[in-house]
Amino acid sequence: MTDTLENLAESHRNDPSDRDLVDDANAPHGPWHKGMEEPETGIVWSRFLILIGFFAFVIFVGGPNAIAFVIAIVAALVIHEAGHFLVGRWSGMLVTEYFIGFGPRIFSFRRGDAVYGLKAIPFGAYVRIIGMNNLEQVDPVHEPRTYRQAAWFKRVLTILAGPATHFVIALLLMVVYLAGQGRPLPDDEAWAISSVVPLSVAEEAGLQAEDRIIDIGGTNTTEWEDLGEAVALLAGQETNLTLIRDGQEQTLDVRIGERLTQQGASGFNGLYFSDRIIAFEGTEVANFEEFAALASGSVGETVTVTVENHQEVFEQIVNVEFIPELDGAVSGFLGIGPGQAFEPQSVSQAIANAPGVIGGLISDIGTRTPELVSTSEGRRSLFGLTAFDDPEPQPVEQDVDGTVIEFRPIEASNFDENRPISLLGLTILASALENGWFVLFLVIVMNLFFGMFNLLPLLPLDGGHIALATYEKVRSIFARERYAADAAKLLPVTYVVFGFMMLVSMIALVRDVVDFVIPS
């Protein structure tokens, strides 16, 4: 997005005290335009050290994934502006500035008609093309090279070049992703482990994320539901499972764990469905049968039982009402969650498949983006600062071992997946991703979002410039003379849109600061 607001605002200012502005076509440096910045010599080291400190802070707090994500996003925005810059120059427009970053200038230099430089706030870049609207005062010498005097197709191409770079970047990175990580397989073809529950049989056996279990106890587990059915019937039994890890087939011996069913929990006031019993009155038990034998002598009494539920181990005060039948009191438990499986791709396959995957992501983004501002029942609104809520603890549903289990009530999370997320939140999310390829995928999605968002037909977005240029072209055809929209009438709408964007961004930032929780 070019610096539309700054250009519009500059059109209303004429402050001769601004030493950075030169309005003299005969200046010793050559043709000069009001708004070009006189380059400073040398580097402002204090500002440069602040910039270095910012990146050092990101590395220290977020680690390599966070800094890689930030650099990738900033690079995408820099390339976006380079698209405007290069196509504008190709179209014959006078492009007077190309700066990386915003705020205080670190250094700059002049080459030809343009000033290039670096500023202290590294959140993107901007270019300045003279004559973006009819309010901007331009020396008559430079008027033929203004944006407003260029042909319609040159204006559209210049503006379109920015958002288009995001789609090109996403496509190229998707080729790298498919060649490195692989093509995501449909759930009915294959699945892989996405998470291993702490303190579980799976963790003890050494199962890892991205392992693909293909057989357990002689049961084929190509589909996730098959695993759930097999594990449920193997509670407490020794068995073996076959998995594929890094393309190699391995076999592990495991003892399937046990969790209480509704029937098993019914005899004990204080125990819940999905609890895993660890000890009775401080005495460790290997299975429910041992627990039932110890508890049989305490019917009608209050005892202390150590249980594990939702990845937490704690002592629970329990009233023993009766001892349920052993058959059906527990179900098998392995302790893994389902995830996406990937098929390795050659470079040629990745190139062939990348456009289709990108098309699917574009469709998903276009479908889900409206949910960010939804206020439908069961979804928090955009402006609901959940950090100030006092939610009641709710049971947590989680798909474990092919069965959706409702764990005992825990403290409710303030994380709301149906809300905007700021760059800070995305950086936190990137830092929490264990797989670097998923960070790359996040960068791909963000580039597609940037490209699509910038094409919205609203000023000051690039899509607004394209819509305005097209409107002027249509009016010119009907009027049979060149028509230029009055930028003064567009200023209020532009400021409203910009203000709303800033409001949403600030709300997202505040929510990420006060109530961000990495979703499990």
- Report the C-alpha gap between 180 and 265 in whole angstroms: 47
Asked if the peptide bond before residue 460 counts as cis, ω within 30 degrees of 0, the response is: yes
Please return the burial class of 94, using the count of CB atoms within 10 Å of its CB with bins 0-12, 13-18 and 19+.
buried
pLDDT at 437 over 90: no
Give tens-digit pLDDT for 280-309.
998 998 888 889 899 998 998 999 999 887
Task: Say if CB 518 and CB 413 are below 8 A apart.
Answer: no
- Report the candidate in 454, 489, 402 with the shortest Cα–Cα distance to residue 161: 454
Give the model confidence (pLDDT) of 252-283 as tens digits: 888 888 888 888 888 899 888 888 888 999 89
Query: What number of residues does the chain have?
Result: 520
DSSP-based three-state secondary structure for 507: helix
Which helix (H) or strand (E) segment holds residue 431: the answer is helix 423-432
Please give the C-alpha separations between residue 358 and each of 18, 72, 187, 410, 447, in angstroms, as whole numbers.
47, 18, 19, 38, 11
Has residue 404 got a pLDDT over 60? no
Q: Report the candidate in 326, 322, 288 with the shortest Cα–Cα distance to residue 307.
A: 288
168 pLDDT higher than 50:
yes
pLDDT of 155 > 80? The answer is: yes
- pLDDT given for residue 264 in this prediction: 87
- Mean pLDDT value of segment 353-360: 91
pLDDT of residue 519: 45
Per cent of the chain over pLDDT 90 is: 21
Tokens, residue 56: 């050092």
pLDDT at 41: 53
pLDDT of the residue at 167: 96
Q: Which of 184-193, 234-243, 380-389, 495-504 has the lowest mean pLDDT?
A: 380-389
Which residues lie below 8 Å from residue 500, measured CB to CB, with a gap of 6+? Answer: none
- Between residues 346 and 198, the one the model is more confident about: 346
- At 149 the pLDDT is 92
Report pLDDT for 474: 92
- Residue 139 is predicted with a pLDDT of 87
| The pLDDT of residue 26 is above 60 | no
C-alpha pair distances (Å), 486 with each of 22, 121, 150, 160:
26, 33, 17, 22
Read off the pLDDT band of 495 (50, 70, 90). Answer: confident
Label residue 170 by pLDDT band (50, 70, 90). very high
pLDDT of 246 reads 79
Enumerate the domain spans of the chain. Answer: 4-180+423-502, 185-343+387-412
**Confidence class for position 48, pLDDT limits 50, 70, 90:** confident
Q: Please tell me the predicted confidence (pLDDT) of residue 302.
A: 92
pLDDT at 40: 59
pLDDT in tens, 57-82: 777 767 788 888 888 988 999 999 99
The letter for the amino acid at 89 is: R
Q: Which long-range contacts (CB under 8 A, 24 or more apart) does 104-112 make?
A: 104/44, 104/47, 105/37, 105/40, 105/44, 105/47, 106/43, 106/44, 106/47, 106/48, 106/51, 107/40, 107/42, 107/43, 107/44, 107/48, 108/37, 108/39, 108/40, 109/39, 110/29, 110/39
Please give the Cα distance from 385 to 416 (Å, whole number). Answer: 10
Query: So what's the pLDDT on residue 147?
Result: 93
| pLDDT, greater one: 486 or 95 | 95
Q: Which of 124-128, 227-231, 428-432, 469-473 has the lowest mean pLDDT?
A: 428-432
185-343+387-412 has which fold?
Pdz3 Domain (2.30.42)
Structure confidence at residue 380 (pLDDT): 42
What average pLDDT score do residues 33-44 get?
Answer: 56
Kindly report which listed range (20-29, 106-115, 175-184) carries the lowest average pLDDT score: 20-29
pLDDT at 497 over 70: yes
Looking at every residue in the chain, the average pLDDT score rounds to 78
The Cα–Cα gap between 504 and 510 comes to 10
Gap between the Cα atoms of 67 and 114, Å rounded: 30
β-pair type (302-309, 312-320): antiparallel
pLDDT recorded at residue 502: 82
pLDDT for the residue 417: 52
Nearest CA-CA partner of 9 in 96, 98, 135, 171 = 135
Amino acid at 337: G
**Highest mean pLDDT (candidates 44-58, 378-392, 403-417):** 44-58
Half-sphere exposure of 138 (CA within 13 A, CB side): 24
142 class by beta-carbon count within 10 Å (0-12 exposed, 13-18 middle, 19+ buried): buried
Adjacency order of strands within the sheet including 302-309? 268-269, 312-320, 302-309, 276-280, 283-284
412 or 219, higher pLDDT? 219
Instruction: Kindly tell me if the per-residue pLDDT of 18 is higher than 50.
Output: no
pLDDT at 388 over 60: no
Query: Shortest CA distance to 501 belongs to which of 458, 466, 467, 445?
Result: 458
Mean pLDDT of 14-41: 41
Is the predicted pLDDT of residue 88 greater than 60, yes or no? yes
In which band, very low, low, confident or very high, does the pLDDT at 517 lie, cut at 50, 70 and 90?
very low
